[in-house]
Amino acid sequence: MPPSPDFAPGTVWLVGAGPGDPELLTQRAVRLIEAADIVFHDALVGPGVRALIPPGVERVSVGKRSGRHSKDQRTINDLLCEAALAGRRVVRLKGGDPSIFGRSAEEIEHLVGHGIEVRVCPGVTAASAAAASVGASLTLRGIARSLTFVTAHARAGEAIELDWLSLARNETTLAVYMGRAAAGTVAHGLIRAGRDPDTPVLVVVNASLADERAIRGRLSALPFLVRTISDDEPTLLLIGEALHSVPAPPIQRTAAHTNVSSCAAR
């Protein structure tokens, strides 16, 4: 492949791999992956996306799943720096969008501090993919005027610190990333801060993939909704009045009067 004018040797690109479906990659992302000499990829980068890495290109897994880290962030920073200083074209492939809970700022700061050119290729974030799959709008005129992305992930032994009063506003749609383990804390914090217990909730697992599923319910039932989801399944919580607009799929009633639907990827 001819060299890319924006991908000189010694350059690092932080590339958004999207939520997992390779068809949701940008054209630039595909081009950069094909031009790379080495690809460092997260655990959330699915096999369909990894299959785009050409034969002969070195692959390095630096994934983090459910507290099990193959590499800590300092080591990842050093590996990226080492590869770039060796004159290699480096792709750092991140699930979703690098700028949303992707620790891109830490890697950029480290690389720039060593005189390395680093650029960012955006990707489709999980909240957008999840909403698209079920036909939801994350904002709704006159009802949901704002959209807030939060992460429910905390370091081991630390409590989740969120501005519950701000998040409890009825006109805000919440997209809670990495929210499975903290579903009970999220529900309790929001309701205690004044959010209506009957606020619609959508739990989306493996957004955009063939085994995607969506579980519909209400905020007060959120801890129940996530019980069947395993630790290794990427889970996004969507919370807000805008979800009333989701087209009604075939539903199954559960003991908690929660609507459960399976949404196959396109």
- The single-letter code of the amino acid at 127 is A
Residue extents of the structural domains in the chain: 12-121, 126-261
Measuring CA to CA, which residue among 92, 91, 135, 129 is closest to residue 234?
129
- The single-letter code of the amino acid at 213 is R
Q: Please list the alpha-helical segments (H only) found in 204-264.
A: 222-225
- Residues 146-197: pLDDT tens digits? 999 999 876 555 667 899 999 999 999 999 998 899 999 999 999 999 999 9
Of all residues in the chain, the percent with pLDDT exceeding 90 is: 76
Does 71 qualify as catalytic in the annotation?
Answer: no
For the record, the structure tokens of 162 come out as: 């969120």
- 86 pLDDT above the threshold of 90: yes
Catalytic residue among 6, 37, 64, 196: 64
Please give the Cα distance from 32 to 44 (Å, whole number): 19
Return the pLDDT at 85. 98
DSSP class of residue 10 equals T
Q: b/e map of 223-241 (b: 16 or more CB within 10 Å)?
A: ebbbeebeeebbbbbbbbb
Strand pairing of 213-218 and 259-261? Answer: antiparallel
Tell me the average pLDDT of the chain: 88
E strand segments, the chain = 12-16, 38-41, 58-61, 64-65, 68-69, 90-94, 118-121, 146-151, 172-177, 200-205, 213-218, 235-239, 252-253, 259-261
Q: Given pLDDT bands bounded at 50, 70 and 90, which one contains residue 260?
A: very low
Please give the Cα distance from 121 to 129 (Å, whole number): 17
Return the pLDDT at 95. 94
Mean pLDDT to the nearest integer, 44-57: 94
E strand segments, 159-199 = 172-177
pTM of this structure: 0.86
Mean pLDDT to the nearest integer, 210-229: 95
Q: pLDDT higher for 5 or 95?
A: 95
Mean pLDDT to the nearest integer, 204-230: 94
Return the pLDDT at 245. 75
Class level of CATH domain 12-121: alpha beta
The length of the chain in residues reads 266
Return the pLDDT at 38. 98
Does 42 qualify as catalytic in the annotation?
Answer: yes
Out of 3.40.50.720, 3.40.1080.10, 3.30.2020.30, 3.30.950.10, select the CATH number for domain 126-261.
3.30.950.10
Mean pLDDT to the nearest integer, 63-75: 71
Q: Which of 96-105, 158-167, 193-202 has the lowest mean pLDDT?
A: 158-167
Mean pLDDT to the nearest integer, 63-78: 76
Catalytic residue among 6, 21, 37, 42: 42
Q: Given pLDDT bands bounded at 50, 70 and 90, which one contains residue 247?
A: confident
Mean pLDDT to the nearest integer, 230-250: 84
- 263 pLDDT above the threshold of 70: no
